[in-house]
Every structure is written in structure tokens, then in C-alpha cells.
């Protein structure tokens, strides 16, 4: 279509350019969050994330070594060292010893310290503290410096949010899992070439992920809590809670819906049309209406707030879409197969289990992805049916809202927490996009 009469080269360029602009506009916000999650609080607060690739001027609060490091040099007590951590190559332009005058001195100058003694700071961060009396106390004096620092990215924020070294260990375990998966894949392919490649691939993925999970649960992911992290910062527990909510809430409605969809698609009974109309109607009922009545109901039958309640709620709310999607798909399956099976004496139950379910896999996958994304990303249902006063069953979305309130200015923690929570849906999204698109196309009411 593109190159036939009617399209001009100029227009083609305009198309490329407009798509590029659209794509940039759409990816830019997410990219900002992603980049910010690898920057330190100082870096985020002093320069835009789009500058993260370039050296930036920052106001730093540094600390000289404590009195433990002092050596006696004749009459003088001396502490020498570098203000920056090893490997940091920042250049100091001005510095000061009080937070009110952070630009009092230039590199090479010597400043009087309030507690006695003098300090000289060079541009590269080396300093020399001298005093005629011995230094006392536990910590060294603070130095406020304005320095041009090279771009720096680290996993420190992830240590704060998830626990020490979680990312590194997860990568290690994943690498081990991938290696085992590859071994299984290639040896199976060599030993049993007649096997369906899809099954071989699936088996290898399952084995690899299994090893990762086993390693993670045996060796543990975190090596401790990072310094300075507060209890509210920890997303690790919320991550597992979210997973606990999501998996049953995704699996259970599928079966309920599949049987119902089969009946609505391939069985004849009075009231079928009415039932389908009811399902279509319920598809749009706002779940807001269900909050109070169901909370009351859950309290009356004694399950109150908790996992059981949230699983049941998600199952109920997901059912109309599931039934609708699956019915639309099953109706399109070839009539011949089903009638032949009936002639051969198969019961409805057998037809359903042996023919319909395997053939409906794309629709089942599409709904599973929808339901997974929806339950993972949900806030309202979890707030109402799950999270009680103890706060132990909090989910990630709730945790992030909490962080927005309590640490709204701490972008390093917020961005990292938010990024952790959107990683899993993004992986699912990119891996299963094909099914998601199919599901969307089938699920929008025609």
C-alpha cells in the first residue's frame, strides 16, 4: 500500500517523524522512573534525570575520617584521607565547613574548624586535618562541597527497597536457572528429537525457573536490611503478598468461566440468550457497587478481611469478562469436530475436557493475562477486602501510595519501589503480547 500512487516521499518522512515523536512522548515518563531508580538521592534532587548521562554539579555533604585515624606528627595531630569513596572521580569547585557557607573556600585553601584545628581540601577531595591537640569524639567534621561528579548509577536504592543485594543474588540465581534450562533444552532436543519443540521449550523454562526458585528459597535473596532503610520502605514482603493475591485469583476464575462458557456456546437450553445478555450487562457493572455489600457479607460469614476474601472478590469480578471472552472464542470453534465427537458417543464432559479446553488455549491465555495484570495492578479491591489494621497483608500498590504520602520527596525510594512493582507486569506484557492483543480484540463488545 505504501508505495503506490498517492504517497509522496515527503509524507513518508512526516510519518516516520510523527511516529518517532509519539514513541518518545510515550516512553519518556517511564524512562524517567527507570533511570531515577539507579541514581542517588542527591543526584535526583539536584539535576533532571535526562542529565544523568552527563557529569553534573552537585552540592554534597561529606565527612572527614574520625579521630581514630589521627596520627601524631611532632607537635601536630594529623588526619589525612579523601572525602570521596574510592573510585569516585568528582572535582570540587568550592567548599565550606558550615551549611550556611558552603562556598566559603576554593580548593587548596585552609579553613579554621569550629572545634579547633584546620582543614585543607584539594580539588580531588583529598584533605588534611591538623590540630595542636588530639581530635576527640567519634566522628570527623563535615565538609560541604560543590563538586562536578561524573554520571553514576548504582543498585543502592534497590538495596534499600528490597533488602541488601537482592538484585545481585536474583541475577545470579536467574543465570544458574538459565544455564540449567539451556542444558535441559539442548540435551532433550538431542536425545528426543521427535518431541514437540513447544513442549521442550516449555519444559526447559519450567526447570530453569524451578532451579531459580529453589535457590532463592534455600539460600535466601536478601543478606540483610540496608542501612537507613525504614520498615515502610521494604517492598519485599509486599511483593510476595501481591503474588499470593494474584496467582489464585488468576487461576480459579478460569475454570469456573470455561465450563459456563461451554454451556453458553454449545448447549441448547431455554434461557440461554437471556443468560448471555446478563453476562454482557454485568460486564460493565462498576465494582464500586460491590464494596460495602460484599464486605458486609464477608464479615457475616466470618472470613472478614484477608486473602480468602480478596481471592473470592477477584474471582467474582473477573468472571463476566472471562465468560464473555471464552464464549466468543468457543462459538467460533468448528461445529464438525464437536458433532463428530457426539456421534462417536462422547459425553459433554469429555468433549469439553478433551476437545474444547485444548483448542481454547489462546483465549484462556488471553484471559489469564488480563486477570493477572488486573489483580497485580489493583488497589481498590485490596484496600477494601484484604488490608486490615495490622498492615501485614499490604500489597505493592498500597505500599507505593503509602510511600507517596510519607516519603513523597524521596524520589530514589519512590521510583525504585514503583519500578519494582511494574517490572513483573511489564515482563508478562512483553512475553505474552500476542495473546493480550488477541484477547483485547475478542473482548471488546462488538
Partner 1 sequence: MHPAIQGLITIVIGVGGCIGYFYFSNQFLDKVLFPARGPNAGRNINRANMIRPWLFLFPAIVALGLYLAYPVVETLRLSVTERIPGGGSEFVGFANYAQMFSEPKFWEAMRNNMLWLIIVPAFSTAFGLLAAQLTDRISWGNVAKSIIFMPMAISFVGAAVIWKLVYDTRPEGQDQIGILNAFWVAMGGDPQTWLTIPYLNSILLMIVLIWIQTGFAMVILSAALRGIPEETIEAAIVDGANPFQIFFKIKVPQIMGTIVVVWTTITLVVLKVFDIVFAMTNGQWQTQVLANYMYDKLFRANDWGVGSASAIVIMLLVTPILVWNVHNARKEMR
Which residues ranging from 22 to 81 are in contact with partner 1 (CB under 8 A)? Answer: 22-23, 26-30, 32-33, 36, 44-50
DSSP-derived secondary structure for 282-299? HTT--GGGGHHHHHHHHH
CB 327 within 8 A of CB 261: yes
Angle 79-85-88 (CA atoms, 0-180°, nearest 5)?
125
Q: Does position 19 bind partner 1 by CB under 8 A? A: yes
d(CA 171, CA 249): 28
Q: Does position 7 bind partner 1 by CB under 8 A? A: yes
Q: Does position 440 bind partner 1 by CB under 8 A? A: yes
- Among positions 79, 149, 204, 279, the unique one binding partner 1 when judged by CB under 8 A: 279
Residue 44 vs 119, nearer CB to partner 1: 44
Stretch that binds partner 1, among 82-90, 108-116, 129-137, 399-407 (CB under 8 A): 399-407
d(CA 127, CA 192): 68
Stretch that binds partner 1, among 107-115, 143-151, 312-320, 332-340 (CB under 8 A): 312-320
Distances from the Cα of 346 to the Cαs of 83, 149, 350, 446, in angstroms? 80, 74, 6, 33
| Binding residues among 215-254 for partner 1 as defined by CB under 8 A | 240-241, 243-244, 247-248, 251-252
Residue 27 vs 337, nearer CB to partner 1: 27
- Among positions 221, 321, 323, 363, the unique one binding partner 1 when judged by CB under 8 A: 323
d(CA 398, CA 402): 6
Please name the residues in contact with 386: beta carbons below 8 A apart, sequence gap of 6 or more. 245, 305, 306, 307, 309, 310, 393, 395
Count of residues touching partner 1 (by CB under 8 A): 120
What is the closest distance, in whole angstroms, from the C-beta atom of residue 156 to partner 1 in the complex? 18
| Residue closest to 63 by CA, chosen among 139, 155, 160, 169 | 139
Q: Does position 397 bind partner 1 by CB under 8 A? A: yes
Q: Does position 148 bind partner 1 by CB under 8 A? A: no
Q: Does position 425 bind partner 1 by CB under 8 A? A: yes
What is the closest distance, in whole angstroms, from the C-beta atom of residue 168 to partner 1 in the complex? 24
d(CA 318, CA 321): 6
Q: Does position 400 bind partner 1 by CB under 8 A? A: yes
What is the closest distance, in whole angstroms, from the C-beta atom of residue 162 to partner 1 in the complex? 16
Q: Does position 320 bind partner 1 by CB under 8 A? A: yes
CB 168 within 8 A of CB 155: yes
Residue 365 vs 379, nearer CB to partner 1: 379
What is the closest distance, in whole angstroms, from the C-beta atom of residue 325 to partner 1 in the complex? 13
Distances from the Cα of 15 to the Cαs of 9, 20, 188, in angstroms? 10, 8, 47
Q: Does position 288 bind partner 1 by CB under 8 A? A: yes
- Among positions 102, 143, 312, 363, the unique one binding partner 1 when judged by CB under 8 A: 312
What is the closest distance, in whole angstroms, from the C-beta atom of residue 345 to partner 1 in the complex? 10
Host H or E run for residue 46: helix 41-46
Largest CA distance in the chain: 108
What is the closest distance, in whole angstroms, from the C-beta atom of residue 61 to partner 1 in the complex? 16
- Among positions 119, 264, 325, 366, the unique one binding partner 1 when judged by CB under 8 A: 264
- Among positions 269, 300, 302, 389, the unique one binding partner 1 when judged by CB under 8 A: 269
Strand partners for 121: 127
Host H or E run for residue 96: strand 91-96
| Residue closest to 95 by CA, chosen among 144, 148, 46 | 144
Residue 132 vs 217, nearer CB to partner 1: 217
- Among positions 97, 157, 371, 393, the unique one binding partner 1 when judged by CB under 8 A: 393
d(CA 421, CA 438): 25
- Among positions 172, 291, 303, 359, the unique one binding partner 1 when judged by CB under 8 A: 291
Order of strands, sheet of 76-82, starting from the edge strand that comes earlier in the sequence: 71-73, 76-82, 126-131, 118-121, 110-112
| Residue closest to 276 by CA, chosen among 323, 335, 338 | 323
Which cell goes with 149? 561528579
Q: Does position 344 bind partner 1 by CB under 8 A? A: no
- Among positions 256, 341, 359, 365, the unique one binding partner 1 when judged by CB under 8 A: 256
Residue 27 vs 183, nearer CB to partner 1: 27
Residue 24 vs 183, nearer CB to partner 1: 24
Amino acid at each position: 500500500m505504501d508505495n503506490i500512487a498517492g504517497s509522496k516521499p515527503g509524507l513518508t518522512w512526516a510519518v516516520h517523524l510523527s511516529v518517532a515523536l509519539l514513541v518518545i512522548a510515550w516512553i519518556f515518563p517511564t524512562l524517567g522512573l527507570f533511570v531515577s531508580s539507579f541514581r542517588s538521592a542527591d543526584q535526583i534532587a539536584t539535576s533532571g534525570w535526562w542529565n544523568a548521562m552527563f557529569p553534573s554539579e552537585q552540592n554534597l555533604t561529606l565527612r572527614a575520617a574520625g579521630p581514630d585515624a589521627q596520627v601524631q606528627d611532632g607537635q601536630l595531630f594529623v588526619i589525612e584521607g579523601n572525602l570521596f569513596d574510592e573510585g569516585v572521580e568528582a572535582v570540587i569547585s568550592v567548599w565550606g565547613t558550615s551549611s550556611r557557607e558552603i562556598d566559603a573556600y576554593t580548593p587548596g585553601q585552609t579553613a579554621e574548624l569550629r572545634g579547633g584545628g584546620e582543614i585543607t581540601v584539594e580539588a580531588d577531595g583529598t584533605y588534611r586535618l591538623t590540630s595542636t591537640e588530639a581530635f576527640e569524639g567519634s566522628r570527623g567534621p563535615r565538609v560541604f562541597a560543590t563538586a562536578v561528579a561524573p554520571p553514576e548509577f548504582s543498585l543502592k536504592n534497590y538495596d534499600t527497597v528490597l533488602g541488601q543485594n537482592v538484585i545481585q543474588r536474583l541475577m545470579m540465581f536467574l543465570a544458574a536457572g538459565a544455564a540449567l534450562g539451556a542444558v535441559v533444552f539442548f540435551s532433550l532436543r538431542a536425545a528426543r528429537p521427535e518431541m514437540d519443540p513447544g513442549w521442550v521449550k516449555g519444559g526447559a523454562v519450567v526447570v530453569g525457573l524451578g532451579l531459580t526458585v529453589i535457590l532463592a528459597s534455600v539460600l535466601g535473596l536478601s543478606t540483610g536490611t540496608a542501612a537507613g532503610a525504614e520498615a515502610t520502605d521494604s517492598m519485599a514482603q509486599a511483593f510476595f503478598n501481591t503474588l499470593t493475591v494474584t496467582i489464585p485469583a488468576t487461576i480459579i476464575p478460569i475454570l469456573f468461566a470455561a465450563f459456563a462458557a461451554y454451556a453458553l456456546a454449545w448447549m441448547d437450553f431455554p434461557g440461554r440468550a437471556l443468560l448471555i445478555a446478563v453476562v454482557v450487562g454485568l460486564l460493565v457493572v462498576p465494582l464500586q457497587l460491590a464494596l460495602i455489600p460484599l464486605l458486609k457479607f464477608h464479615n457475616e460469614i466470618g472470613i472478614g478481611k484477608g486473602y480468602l476474601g480478596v481471592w473470592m472478590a477477584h474471582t467474582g469480578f473477573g468472571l463476566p469478562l472471562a465468560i464473555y471472552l471464552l464464549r466468543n472464542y468457543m462459538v467460533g470453534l468448528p461445529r464438525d469436530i464437536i458433532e463428530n465427537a457426539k456421534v462417536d458417543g462422547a459425553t459433554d464432559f469429555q468433549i469439553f475436557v478433551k476437545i474444547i479446553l485444548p483448542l481454547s488455549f489462546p483465549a484462556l491465555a488471553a484471559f489469564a493475562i488480563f486477570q493477572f495484570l488486573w489483580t497485580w495492578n489493583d488497589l481498590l479491591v485490596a484496600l477494601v477486602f484484604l488490608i486490615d489494621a495490622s498492615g501485614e497483608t499490604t500489597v505493592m500498590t498500597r505500599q507505593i501510595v503509602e510511600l507517596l504520602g510519607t516519603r513523597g520527596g524521596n524520589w530514589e525510594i519512590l521510583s525504585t519501589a514503583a519500578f519494582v512493582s511494574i517490572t513483573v507486569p511489564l515482563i508478562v506484557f512483553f512475553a505474552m503480547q500476542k495473546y493480550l492483543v488477541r484477547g483485547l480484540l475478542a473482548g471488546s463488545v462488538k
